[in-house]
Each structure stands twice: as C-alpha cells, then as structure tokens.
C-alpha cells in the first residue's frame, strides 16, 4: 500500500511538471490536419508502424523451444489487424559449442479485417487488401548472468491496395475536395535489429531494442516489459506520424 502511495505521489509530481496552462495555446485542429496530411503523403509508412507493433523481435526466453504471439493493442484493437506470430528455437545458447549464441527463427502474418469489411459493405470501395508478413532470425547471447544482448535480421513486407468505384451518382469518393484515386502501395525492407534484455523481477523481463531498415532507413526503438502471458511496450517511431505507440501483446512460450 505504502509503495502504491509513493508511486501515486510521484506520478502526480510528474503531472505537475507538465504545466497545464501551456496546453491552452495548442492548435489541435491544425495539428490534426498536419497528421492527416502526413498519412496521405506516406500511407504505407503509417500502416507499417503498426505492423512493427505486432512483430515479435525479442528472443525466446532461455529454456523455451517455441512461442506464439498475437498483438492486441493497437493492432487488433482499434486497427483490426488480425495477426499471429511465432518463434522457434533452432538451438539454445552454448548447446552446439560453448559460447555459440541461441538462434531463433521468427515470423508472422497479419490481415486487416476492416479492409475486408469495407469491400463487403461499401458502395465506393471496390477492392481492399491491407496485410503483411515478416520473417527473420535472432541471435542472443548472455553477457552476464543478468544481461542478454540480441542481434537479428527481419524481412518485412506490407501490401496496401484500395480500389474505388463511382457510387450510384457516378461520383468517386472525395477527401478534402479531391477525388480519391486507387491506392496501391506497399513497404518492403530488410532490417537490422540490436537489443539488450535484463530481468525486472521474477519471471519478468525488460528490453530495449533498435530496428533499422537498411534500404528505406525507417527506424524504431522498442522498449518492452514481458512476463509469462503479456508484453507491454512503448514503441517509438521518431520519424513516424504517431511517434509513440503504447503496445499490448499476448504470448505463450513452451
């Protein structure tokens, strides 16, 4: 109880640091327009950031052979990305020879439910397909009894296709006064991953990692806390539209 009180006081202190009158001057409307403009300029980039939220790019905990994962927030809810990811351990650390790192294969797939529903119900959307996948591998090695570093590679692909058709009046859907044309875009890159993992408590781990796209130079930093069932994360996309993504994923490791 005392511990919780202390936390509460500290959180309030933090909130006081954020001078609330300062917010009064923020022009949220123009900020909103700016965000919409950035999404239109690079829709694939915007949707790919959510794909990175569901990608499982941490190594399997020591002793586990395989794992499955599904992203809950902000992927399934509210983005309707139905998704599944898996990890398989090829060999454990030091199994083949002393000092040889653990090697895991990772991969996953997602499909946007909203895109499917839009095609079914909409008069103006002719075809819609939003989805993607990733595959890769992660090497992890203990540098002390309490610290593991990991290194990885992933190949990520996103496909976004949206075809419009004129409605009963022969009008194409409009956005901000202009006709919307078909969207056929995508994203594809090979990423380098570097991270470090350290225990936070019994059965709880904490990690921080960098994902860097070699061709597109897209990058992100993921901070996550994970236990037996859930992973909480704070993914930062400094050059993205929504810079901070709070993340909640469910996983099981066997």
144 in contact with another protein (CB under 8 A)? yes
Report which secondary-structure segment, H or E, holds 134.
strand 125-144
17 vs 168 by CB, closer to another protein: 17
Choose the binding region for another protein from 50-58, 164-172, 177-185, 208-216 (rule: CB under 8 A).
Answer: 208-216
| Rounded-to-5 percentages of helix, strand, coil across the chain | 20, 50, 30
183-201 vs 178-179, strand pairing mode:
unpaired
The tokens describing 234, both together, are 């704070």
76 vs 207 by CB, closer to another protein: 207
H, E, C per residue of 4-50: HHHHHHHHHHHHHHCCHHHHHHCCHHHHHHHHHHHHHHCHHHHHHHH
Which one of residues 109, 153, 219, 248 is an interface residue with another protein (CB under 8 A)?
A: 219
Least distance from another protein to the Cβ atom of residue 234, Å: 8
Least distance from another protein to the Cβ atom of residue 161, Å: 23
Closest CA to 101 of 65, 136, 132, 138: 138
Footprint of another protein on residues 28-57 (CB under 8 A)? 30-31, 38, 41
199 in contact with another protein (CB under 8 A)? yes
Task: Scan for tokens 């993992």, then name that residue.
Answer: 197
Footprint of another protein on residues 79-138 (CB under 8 A)? none
Which one of residues 8, 10, 40, 90 is an interface residue with another protein (CB under 8 A)?
A: 10
117 vs 214 by CB, closer to another protein: 214
Footprint of another protein on residues 220-239 (CB under 8 A)? 221, 223, 234, 236, 238-239
183-201 vs 219-226, strand pairing mode:
unpaired
């Amino acid at each position: 109880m005392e511990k919780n009180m202390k936390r509460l006081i500290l959180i309030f202190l933090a909130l006081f640091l954020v001078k609330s009158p300062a917010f009064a001057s923020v022009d949220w409307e123009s900020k909103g327009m700016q965000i919409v403009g950035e999404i239109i300029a690079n829709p694939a980039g915007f949707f790919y950031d959510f794909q990175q939220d569901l990608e499982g790019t941490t190594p399997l905990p020591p002793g586990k052979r395989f794992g499955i994962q599904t992203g809950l927030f902000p992927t399934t809810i509210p983005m309707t990305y139905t998704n599944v990811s898996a990890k398989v351990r090829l060999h454990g650390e030091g199994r083949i020879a002393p000092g040889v790192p653990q090697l895991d294969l990772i991969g996953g797939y997602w499909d946007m439910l909203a895109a499917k529903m839009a095609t079914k119900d909409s008069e103006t959307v002719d075809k819609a397909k939003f989805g993607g996948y990733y595959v890769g591998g992660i090497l992890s090695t203990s540098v002390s009894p309490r610290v593991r570093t990991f290194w990885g590679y992933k190949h990520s692909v996103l496909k976004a296709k949206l075809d419009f058709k004129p409605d009963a009046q022969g009008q194409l859907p409009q956005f901000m006064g202009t006709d919307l044309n078909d969207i056929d875009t995508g994203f594809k890159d090979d990423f380098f991953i570097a991270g470090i993992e350290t225990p936070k408590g019994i059965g709880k781990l904490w990690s921080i990692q960098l994902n860097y796209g070699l061709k597109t130079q897209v990058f992100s930093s993921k901070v996550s806390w994970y236990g037996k069932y859930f992973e909480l994360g704070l993914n930062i996309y400094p050059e993205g539209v929504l810079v901070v993504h709070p993340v909640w994923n469910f996983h099981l490791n066997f």
